[in-house]
Amino acid sequence: MRVRSLWGRIEEASRPVHPTTRRVLDERWAALPAAARTDAQTVGRHAVGCEGTHGVFPRCNLTCSPCYHSKDANKVRVDGEHTLAQVEAQMRLLEERRGPRAHAQLIGGEVSLLDPDDHAAALLIMRAHGREPMSMTHGDFDIDYLRALALDGDGNPRFRRLSFAAHFDSLMRGRRGMPSPKSEAELNPFRARFVAMFRQLRREHGIRSYLAHNMTVTPANLDEVSVVAADVSAMGYSMLSFQPAAHVGDERRWKGDYRTVGIDDVWARLEAGLGQQVAWQAVQFGDARCNRTAFGFRVGDSWVPFLDPTSPADLNARDRFFAHFGGVNFGGTPPVWLTVKLLRVLRRHPGDSVVALRWAQRCSVRSGGWLRLVRSCRKQEVRLMTYVVHNFIDAADVAPAWQLMQAGRTTDDLAVAATRERLAACTYAMAHPETGELVPACVQHSVLDRSENAQLRTLLPLTCAG
């Protein structure tokens, strides 16, 4: 009986896709609008989407135009006990509803306002619920804070890897050493300094990192996207993400008409900065009006896509991946178990090995050949690089669409119907344990944040009586 029980546990641990993950993926696919169920769609076929926290520490110590926080956000005290309780409750619901594995952002106001021990505890809670956490920051903290986060009281590493997304743009005010930047280029030393801190952490303590760079785009800095794309791509970040500004949050921080900047405008500047086409059409996350993502790697100064959307062979490889490996947990599975999972898939689909080898050969050709690739690896000039544009929705458009969704009604208003469709395909969910509801991030920030932060202002005032 013990042998059978042990074998049962081994068989379950080595299943390519966790049964709950399969169920959640199927449900997510069925819930997508018909227009989003394309061959390129990742949601519901390989991933459930990303997740984020809300109401855990809404305060920030920079002032930005625009600012997506409600006017009460900076009147709420950062409180570690509240943060940890909320993170625990939200992650528990996300695990129950969305399965045992997902990427989740520790996001609110400014994460470095948390005590380093509370910050670390929040990340460990997220990991305990199967989440791969990413801390969202403006990057204006020092190596001492990073060490205090990464190491325990005895100086031992708490984590093997840390993930951070740092937001840098000239629309931000109050950064130490650059309180009022006049251009994006002026922020480059601060962007580079952020990467340098994590390189130092790895040299000293062996802790790896994944770093993303975020930038809000308005008409004021649209033409500087090209400069940022060229300069920051060489700094050591693994992702560059651009967000055309939306009319969300504190109206006092809105200046001008942001609607004139669209996803195509930003992507064109990105390609101009890199001096090449950045192919994204082969893989889609949610609605194409909301997200545009290009996966690949840099070899020296050039970027190489993993998939060429004009290559039938590449698209066939993508389709086979989704069909046979969709839902496999690549990032959160120990190497030995991942190898077993992959071998189980290949046993059923042995032809995938040939497809994978041919795909790798095409990637090498796109990068200049195996010889150049090997030489660049030896010089440490090869690294993964993802380019993203997230196109958020204006609050005025979200509110009526969300009301219809809550009531289960449709509309003849084309603009509202389009927003409703985008929300239904949203890849970024936030959890409300008090109601058991998961909501799109645009709904959270456009509809729910205002009342939530007003309540938190009473619960966690900046000053305490007595």
What would the pLDDT profile of 363-387 be if each residue is shown by its tens digit? 999 999 999 999 999 988 999 999 9
Task: Report pLDDT digits (tens) over 62-101.
Answer: 988 888 888 888 999 999 999 999 999 999 999 999 999 9
Confidence at residue 466, expressed as pLDDT on a 0 to 100 scale = 40
Categorize the per-residue pLDDT at 465 as very low, low, confident or very high, splitting at 50, 70 and 90. very low
Domains, the chain, in order of start with CATH, read 47-312+385-459 (3.20.20)
Contact (CB, 8 A) for 316 and 38: no
Instruction: Give yes or no for a contact between 151 and 120, defined as CB atoms under 8 angstroms apart.
Output: no
* Of the listed ranges 45-49, 211-215, 255-259, 409-413, the one predicted with least confidence: 255-259
Per-residue pLDDT at 251: 75
Looking at residue 255, its pLDDT comes to: 74
Q: What pLDDT sits at residue 88? A: 98
**C-beta of residue 329 within 8 angstroms of C-beta of residue 21:** yes
Rounded average pLDDT over 113-125: 98
**What is the reported pLDDT for 258?**
78
Q: What percent of the chain has pLDDT over 70?
A: 97
Contact 276, 299 (CB under 8 A): no
Determine the pLDDT at residue 179. Answer: 95
Q: What residue has token string 């090209």?
A: 226
Half-sphere exposure of 450 (CA within 13 A, CB side): 10
Mean pLDDT score of the chain, rounded to an integer? 94
The residue with greater pLDDT, 11 or 25, is 25
Contact predicate 52/430, CB 8 Å:
yes
What average pLDDT score do residues 57-65 get? 91
Q: Is 256 left (phi over 0), alpha (psi -120 to 50) or beta?
A: left
| Ranges 117-131, 311-325, 399-413: which has the least confidence | 399-413
Cα dihedral 218, 222, 227, 229 sign: positive
Residue 250: pLDDT over 60: yes
